[in-house]
Amino acid sequence: MSKSISSEMILLIFLVIAEGFGYRYYATMESSLTREPSDSPENYALNFFVITILIFGIGGIQYIVSAVLSPMYPHDYTNFVDMCSMANISIIMFNEDLNGYYIHGKSASGNSDVSSEKLRLNLEAEIQGNATIRGIHPSIPEAQTFEIFLPNKMIDDYKKNFLTPVMITLEKGNKESESKYNAVQRAIT
Amino acid sequence: MQVADLYDLNQTSNVMNKIMKKYIDQVRAEPKSFIKEKRMVDRLFGLNPVEKRFPVMFKDKFLPSFSKTLLYGLEFDFMMMEVLIIALMDRCNYLPNDIQSGLAFGVLMAYLFDYILIWLRKYRGRKNLAMHTLSDEKFLVN
Protein backbone atom coordinates (compact mmCIF):
# COMPACT_ATOMS: atom_id res chain seq x y z
CA MET A 1 0.00 0.00 0.00
CA SER A 2 2.21 2.81 -1.12
CA LYS A 3 2.06 5.94 -3.24
CA SER A 4 4.68 7.93 -5.12
CA ILE A 5 3.91 10.89 -2.89
CA SER A 6 3.58 11.26 0.84
CA SER A 7 0.33 12.78 2.07
CA GLU A 8 1.89 13.65 5.42
CA MET A 9 4.66 15.59 3.69
CA ILE A 10 2.16 17.44 1.48
CA LEU A 11 0.00 18.43 4.44
CA LEU A 12 2.98 19.52 6.51
CA ILE A 13 4.51 21.65 3.76
CA PHE A 14 1.08 23.05 2.93
CA LEU A 15 0.59 24.14 6.53
CA VAL A 16 4.00 25.80 6.66
CA ILE A 17 3.41 27.68 3.41
CA ALA A 18 -0.24 28.60 3.95
CA GLU A 19 -0.27 29.37 7.65
CA GLY A 20 3.41 30.01 8.39
CA PHE A 21 4.33 32.13 5.38
CA GLY A 22 0.84 33.66 5.25
CA TYR A 23 -0.10 32.59 1.72
CA ARG A 24 -3.63 31.88 2.97
CA TYR A 25 -4.22 35.65 3.06
CA TYR A 26 -4.05 35.68 -0.74
CA ALA A 27 -7.72 34.72 -0.44
CA THR A 28 -8.73 37.97 1.30
CA MET A 29 -10.80 40.44 -0.68
CA GLU A 30 -8.07 43.04 -1.23
CA SER A 31 -7.01 44.86 -4.35
CA SER A 32 -3.41 43.65 -3.99
CA LEU A 33 -1.86 40.34 -2.94
CA THR A 34 -0.94 40.45 0.71
CA ARG A 35 0.50 37.91 3.13
CA GLU A 36 -0.52 39.87 6.23
CA PRO A 37 -3.81 39.44 8.08
CA SER A 38 -6.24 42.27 7.42
CA ASP A 39 -9.80 43.26 8.26
CA SER A 40 -11.05 42.26 4.81
CA PRO A 41 -13.06 39.04 4.79
CA GLU A 42 -11.84 35.96 2.98
CA ASN A 43 -13.44 34.99 -0.30
CA TYR A 44 -14.56 31.34 -0.20
CA ALA A 45 -13.93 30.71 -3.88
CA LEU A 46 -10.47 32.30 -3.67
CA ASN A 47 -9.76 30.33 -0.52
CA PHE A 48 -10.56 27.08 -2.32
CA PHE A 49 -8.41 28.18 -5.24
CA VAL A 50 -5.41 28.97 -3.00
CA ILE A 51 -5.72 25.61 -1.17
CA THR A 52 -5.99 23.71 -4.47
CA ILE A 53 -3.02 25.47 -6.05
CA LEU A 54 -0.83 24.89 -3.00
CA ILE A 55 -1.76 21.21 -2.45
CA PHE A 56 -1.53 20.27 -6.13
CA GLY A 57 1.65 22.32 -6.55
CA ILE A 58 3.39 20.56 -3.67
CA GLY A 59 2.02 17.16 -4.73
CA GLY A 60 3.00 17.72 -8.37
CA ILE A 61 6.58 18.62 -7.39
CA GLN A 62 6.78 15.52 -5.18
CA TYR A 63 5.44 13.39 -8.02
CA ILE A 64 8.03 14.72 -10.47
CA VAL A 65 10.88 14.27 -7.97
CA SER A 66 9.71 10.71 -7.29
CA ALA A 67 9.59 9.97 -11.04
CA VAL A 68 13.09 11.43 -11.57
CA LEU A 69 14.53 9.44 -8.68
CA SER A 70 12.76 6.20 -9.63
CA PRO A 71 15.75 4.67 -11.50
CA MET A 72 17.83 5.03 -8.32
CA TYR A 73 15.04 4.30 -5.84
CA PRO A 74 12.61 2.00 -7.67
CA HIS A 75 8.94 2.12 -6.77
CA ASP A 76 7.28 -0.82 -5.07
CA TYR A 77 5.55 -1.90 -8.26
CA THR A 78 8.88 -2.15 -10.12
CA ASN A 79 10.29 -4.27 -7.31
CA PHE A 80 7.18 -6.43 -7.37
CA VAL A 81 7.46 -7.11 -11.11
CA ASP A 82 11.18 -7.92 -10.66
CA MET A 83 10.34 -10.27 -7.84
CA CYS A 84 7.74 -12.04 -9.97
CA SER A 85 10.36 -12.49 -12.69
CA MET A 86 12.91 -13.81 -10.24
CA ALA A 87 10.37 -16.22 -8.73
CA ASN A 88 9.18 -17.30 -12.19
CA ILE A 89 5.57 -16.64 -11.25
CA SER A 90 2.92 -14.88 -13.30
CA ILE A 91 -0.01 -13.15 -11.68
CA ILE A 92 -3.53 -12.25 -12.76
CA MET A 93 -5.37 -9.77 -10.56
CA PHE A 94 -9.05 -9.16 -11.04
CA ASN A 95 -10.24 -5.63 -10.77
CA GLU A 96 -13.75 -6.37 -11.94
CA ASP A 97 -15.44 -9.49 -13.21
CA LEU A 98 -13.94 -9.39 -16.70
CA ASN A 99 -11.18 -6.85 -16.23
CA GLY A 100 -7.89 -7.14 -14.45
CA TYR A 101 -4.12 -6.91 -14.67
CA TYR A 102 -1.58 -9.46 -15.74
CA ILE A 103 2.06 -9.58 -14.66
CA HIS A 104 4.13 -11.84 -16.82
CA GLY A 105 6.72 -13.13 -14.41
CA LYS A 106 9.06 -15.28 -16.40
CA SER A 107 12.55 -15.91 -15.16
CA ALA A 108 15.06 -14.90 -17.81
CA SER A 109 17.20 -17.89 -16.89
CA GLY A 110 14.30 -20.33 -17.18
CA ASN A 111 14.01 -21.49 -13.58
CA SER A 112 14.02 -20.10 -10.07
CA ASP A 113 14.05 -23.17 -7.84
CA VAL A 114 17.79 -22.90 -7.40
CA SER A 115 20.29 -21.94 -4.73
CA SER A 116 20.99 -18.29 -3.98
CA GLU A 117 24.44 -18.69 -5.52
CA LYS A 118 22.95 -19.96 -8.77
CA LEU A 119 20.37 -17.17 -8.62
CA ARG A 120 23.18 -14.60 -8.38
CA LEU A 121 24.98 -16.20 -11.32
CA ASN A 122 21.74 -16.12 -13.32
CA LEU A 123 21.37 -12.41 -12.62
CA GLU A 124 24.96 -11.77 -13.69
CA ALA A 125 24.34 -13.73 -16.88
CA GLU A 126 21.27 -11.60 -17.51
CA ILE A 127 23.27 -8.39 -17.00
CA GLN A 128 25.78 -9.61 -19.57
CA GLY A 129 22.97 -10.41 -21.99
CA ASN A 130 23.34 -14.17 -21.80
CA ALA A 131 19.76 -14.87 -20.88
CA THR A 132 16.38 -14.89 -22.53
CA ILE A 133 13.95 -11.99 -22.36
CA ARG A 134 11.61 -11.23 -19.48
CA GLY A 135 8.82 -9.97 -21.71
CA ILE A 136 5.88 -12.04 -22.90
CA HIS A 137 7.10 -12.44 -26.50
CA PRO A 138 10.37 -11.75 -28.39
CA SER A 139 8.53 -9.17 -30.51
CA ILE A 140 7.80 -7.14 -27.34
CA PRO A 141 10.73 -7.98 -25.04
CA GLU A 142 10.03 -5.24 -22.46
CA ALA A 143 6.31 -5.88 -22.03
CA GLN A 144 5.76 -7.56 -18.68
CA THR A 145 2.65 -5.86 -17.33
CA PHE A 146 -0.70 -5.68 -19.06
CA GLU A 147 -4.28 -4.70 -18.57
CA ILE A 148 -6.27 -7.79 -19.37
CA PHE A 149 -9.86 -8.27 -20.53
CA LEU A 150 -11.05 -11.78 -19.99
CA PRO A 151 -13.58 -13.79 -21.94
CA ASN A 152 -16.75 -14.81 -20.11
CA LYS A 153 -15.82 -18.47 -20.38
CA MET A 154 -12.58 -17.96 -18.45
CA ILE A 155 -14.43 -16.30 -15.56
CA ASP A 156 -17.08 -19.01 -15.62
CA ASP A 157 -14.30 -21.59 -15.39
CA TYR A 158 -12.77 -19.69 -12.46
CA LYS A 159 -16.08 -19.51 -10.62
CA LYS A 160 -17.04 -23.11 -11.34
CA ASN A 161 -13.64 -24.70 -10.69
CA PHE A 162 -12.32 -22.54 -7.90
CA LEU A 163 -14.55 -19.97 -6.24
CA THR A 164 -17.60 -22.22 -5.69
CA PRO A 165 -15.60 -25.14 -4.16
CA VAL A 166 -13.70 -22.67 -1.94
CA MET A 167 -16.93 -21.07 -0.73
CA ILE A 168 -18.52 -24.49 -0.07
CA THR A 169 -15.46 -25.66 1.89
CA LEU A 170 -15.37 -22.43 3.90
CA GLU A 171 -19.07 -22.68 4.69
CA LYS A 172 -18.62 -26.30 5.74
CA GLY A 173 -15.69 -25.30 7.99
CA ASN A 174 -17.72 -22.46 9.52
CA LYS A 175 -20.65 -24.76 10.24
CA GLU A 176 -18.32 -27.31 11.88
CA SER A 177 -16.76 -24.61 14.07
CA GLU A 178 -20.19 -23.31 14.98
CA SER A 179 -21.47 -26.74 15.99
CA LYS A 180 -18.33 -27.37 18.08
CA TYR A 181 -18.75 -23.98 19.76
CA ASN A 182 -22.41 -24.73 20.50
CA ALA A 183 -21.46 -28.13 21.96
CA VAL A 184 -18.93 -26.46 24.28
CA GLN A 185 -21.52 -23.87 25.28
CA ARG A 186 -24.03 -26.61 26.10
CA ALA A 187 -21.41 -28.51 28.13
CA ILE A 188 -20.58 -25.39 30.15
CA THR A 189 -24.19 -24.36 30.90
CA MET B 1 -11.73 -27.73 8.50
CA GLN B 2 -10.41 -31.22 7.79
CA VAL B 3 -7.06 -32.03 6.18
CA ALA B 4 -8.97 -33.75 3.37
CA ASP B 5 -10.80 -30.47 2.66
CA LEU B 6 -7.52 -28.62 2.40
CA TYR B 7 -6.19 -31.30 0.08
CA ASP B 8 -9.29 -30.93 -2.10
CA LEU B 9 -8.83 -27.17 -2.19
CA ASN B 10 -5.24 -27.63 -3.22
CA GLN B 11 -6.32 -29.94 -6.03
CA THR B 12 -8.92 -27.40 -7.10
CA SER B 13 -6.39 -24.60 -7.25
CA ASN B 14 -3.99 -26.79 -9.25
CA VAL B 15 -6.71 -27.49 -11.80
CA MET B 16 -7.56 -23.79 -12.00
CA ASN B 17 -3.89 -22.87 -12.40
CA LYS B 18 -3.67 -25.19 -15.39
CA ILE B 19 -6.79 -23.69 -16.98
CA MET B 20 -5.46 -20.15 -16.53
CA LYS B 21 -2.09 -21.14 -17.98
CA LYS B 22 -3.83 -22.61 -21.03
CA TYR B 23 -5.51 -19.28 -21.75
CA ILE B 24 -2.33 -17.25 -21.29
CA ASP B 25 -0.29 -19.66 -23.42
CA GLN B 26 -2.74 -19.14 -26.25
CA VAL B 27 -2.21 -15.37 -25.99
CA ARG B 28 1.56 -15.87 -25.99
CA ALA B 29 1.31 -18.05 -29.08
CA GLU B 30 -0.57 -15.39 -31.00
CA PRO B 31 0.59 -12.06 -29.57
CA LYS B 32 -0.42 -10.08 -32.64
CA SER B 33 -4.05 -11.12 -32.27
CA PHE B 34 -4.42 -10.72 -28.54
CA ILE B 35 -1.82 -8.18 -27.37
CA LYS B 36 -2.80 -4.68 -28.41
CA GLU B 37 -2.19 -1.06 -27.63
CA LYS B 38 -5.02 0.94 -26.17
CA ARG B 39 -6.24 3.71 -28.45
CA MET B 40 -6.94 7.21 -27.21
CA VAL B 41 -10.66 6.77 -28.00
CA ASP B 42 -10.79 3.61 -25.87
CA ARG B 43 -9.11 5.43 -22.99
CA LEU B 44 -11.39 8.45 -23.23
CA PHE B 45 -14.67 6.57 -23.44
CA GLY B 46 -13.65 3.49 -21.46
CA LEU B 47 -14.40 1.16 -24.37
CA ASN B 48 -13.55 -2.45 -23.62
CA PRO B 49 -12.82 -5.13 -26.20
CA VAL B 50 -15.10 -8.12 -26.55
CA GLU B 51 -13.32 -11.40 -27.26
CA LYS B 52 -15.27 -14.55 -26.61
CA ARG B 53 -12.50 -17.13 -26.59
CA PHE B 54 -9.25 -15.73 -25.21
CA PRO B 55 -8.10 -12.79 -23.09
CA VAL B 56 -7.19 -9.52 -24.77
CA MET B 57 -4.19 -7.73 -23.28
CA PHE B 58 -3.15 -4.11 -23.49
CA LYS B 59 0.50 -3.23 -23.06
CA ASP B 60 1.23 -0.68 -20.33
CA LYS B 61 2.98 2.43 -21.53
CA PHE B 62 4.15 4.53 -18.61
CA LEU B 63 3.03 3.16 -15.26
CA PRO B 64 2.13 -0.52 -14.88
CA SER B 65 -1.66 -0.58 -14.78
CA PHE B 66 -1.71 -2.92 -11.79
CA SER B 67 -0.02 -0.21 -9.71
CA LYS B 68 -3.50 1.21 -9.07
CA THR B 69 -4.09 -1.70 -6.74
CA LEU B 70 -1.16 -0.43 -4.64
CA LEU B 71 -2.54 3.15 -4.48
CA TYR B 72 -0.16 4.33 -7.21
CA GLY B 73 -2.13 6.33 -9.74
CA LEU B 74 -4.58 7.47 -7.08
CA GLU B 75 -2.33 10.26 -5.80
CA PHE B 76 -4.34 13.03 -7.40
CA ASP B 77 -7.59 11.60 -6.05
CA PHE B 78 -6.11 11.69 -2.57
CA MET B 79 -4.93 15.26 -3.09
CA MET B 80 -8.40 16.29 -4.23
CA MET B 81 -9.87 14.72 -1.12
CA GLU B 82 -7.38 16.63 1.04
CA VAL B 83 -8.27 19.91 -0.70
CA LEU B 84 -11.98 19.34 -0.14
CA ILE B 85 -11.57 18.42 3.53
CA ILE B 86 -9.29 21.38 4.27
CA ALA B 87 -11.58 23.82 2.43
CA LEU B 88 -14.64 22.43 4.20
CA MET B 89 -13.07 22.64 7.65
CA ASP B 90 -11.78 26.12 6.98
CA ARG B 91 -15.22 27.16 5.83
CA CYS B 92 -16.83 25.63 8.94
CA ASN B 93 -14.47 27.66 11.08
CA TYR B 94 -16.50 30.78 10.29
CA LEU B 95 -19.10 29.47 12.71
CA PRO B 96 -18.51 30.49 16.34
CA ASN B 97 -15.98 28.13 17.96
CA ASP B 98 -12.67 28.07 19.84
CA ILE B 99 -10.51 26.77 16.99
CA GLN B 100 -7.65 29.19 16.31
CA SER B 101 -6.82 28.07 12.78
CA GLY B 102 -9.39 26.42 10.57
CA LEU B 103 -6.68 25.57 8.08
CA ALA B 104 -4.61 23.66 10.66
CA PHE B 105 -7.75 21.88 11.83
CA GLY B 106 -8.53 21.00 8.21
CA VAL B 107 -5.02 19.59 7.76
CA LEU B 108 -5.47 17.46 10.87
CA MET B 109 -8.82 16.16 9.63
CA ALA B 110 -7.40 15.47 6.16
CA TYR B 111 -4.56 13.47 7.72
CA LEU B 112 -7.00 11.45 9.82
CA PHE B 113 -9.27 10.76 6.82
CA ASP B 114 -6.24 9.67 4.77
CA TYR B 115 -5.08 7.40 7.54
CA ILE B 116 -8.51 5.84 8.08
CA LEU B 117 -9.06 5.27 4.35
CA ILE B 118 -5.70 3.57 3.90
CA TRP B 119 -6.23 1.47 7.02
CA LEU B 120 -9.67 0.39 5.81
CA ARG B 121 -8.29 -0.51 2.41
CA LYS B 122 -5.51 -2.56 4.00
CA TYR B 123 -7.93 -4.34 6.32
CA ARG B 124 -10.54 -5.10 3.68
CA GLY B 125 -7.87 -5.88 1.07
CA ARG B 126 -6.23 -8.48 3.27
CA LYS B 127 -9.57 -10.25 3.77
CA ASN B 128 -10.33 -10.07 0.07
CA LEU B 129 -6.92 -11.49 -0.83
CA ALA B 130 -7.26 -14.33 1.62
CA MET B 131 -10.65 -15.22 0.15
CA HIS B 132 -9.87 -15.05 -3.55
CA THR B 133 -6.18 -15.72 -4.02
CA LEU B 134 -5.30 -18.73 -6.07
CA SER B 135 -1.60 -19.20 -5.58
CA ASP B 136 1.04 -21.60 -6.62
CA GLU B 137 2.85 -23.49 -3.85
CA LYS B 138 6.04 -21.71 -4.92
CA PHE B 139 4.57 -18.33 -4.15
CA LEU B 140 5.78 -17.41 -0.70
CA VAL B 141 4.74 -13.79 -0.46
CA ASN B 142 1.93 -13.19 1.98
Which residues in chain B show pLDDT less than 50? 140-142
pLDDT tens digit sequence for A49-95: 999 999 999 999 999 998 899 888 888 888 888 888 888 888 888 77
pTM across the whole model: 0.72
The DSSP 8-state label assigned to residue A43 in this structure reads P
Candidate from B31, B74, B118 with C-beta closest to A139? B31
| Probe site for chain A from B10, B38, B65 (most A CB atoms < 10 A) | B65
pLDDT tens digit sequence for B20-58: 777 778 778 877 777 888 888 877 887 777 766 777 888
Q: Give the pLDDT score at A93.
A: 83
- Interface check for B122 against chain A (CB to CB < 8 A): the answer is yes
Phi-psi sector, A166: left (phi>0), alpha (psi -120 to 50), beta: alpha
* Rounded Cα–Cα distance for residues A9 and B79 (Å): 12
Q: Give the pLDDT score at B142.
A: 35
Q: Give the pLDDT score at B135.
A: 60
* Rounded Cα–Cα distance for residues A26 and A33 (Å): 6
Q: Give the pLDDT score at A175.
A: 84
* Rounded Cα–Cα distance for residues A56 and B137 (Å): 44
Contact A134, A85 (CB under 8 A): yes
**Predicted confidence band of residue A97 (pLDDT cuts 50, 70, 90):** confident
Type of residue at B80: M
ipTM: 0.71
Phi-psi sector, A10: left (phi>0), alpha (psi -120 to 50), beta: alpha
pLDDT tens digit sequence for A14-60: 999 998 998 888 888 888 888 888 888 888 899 999 999 999 999 99
- Interface check for B42 against chain A (CB to CB < 8 A): the answer is no
Query: Among all residues of chain A, which has the CA nearest to that of B86?
Result: A51
DSSP E strands in chain B: the ranges are: 35-36, 56-59
Q: Give the pLDDT score at B52.
A: 67
Candidate from A140, A145, A154 with C-beta closest to B66? A145
- Interface check for B117 against chain A (CB to CB < 8 A): the answer is no
- For chain B, the structural domain boundaries read 1-59, 61-142
Candidate from A101, A158, A173 with C-beta closest to B1? A173
pLDDT tens digit sequence for A137-159: 888 778 888 888 888 777 777 77
- Interface check for B29 against chain A (CB to CB < 8 A): the answer is no
User: Who wins on pLDDT, B13 or A118?
Assistant: A118
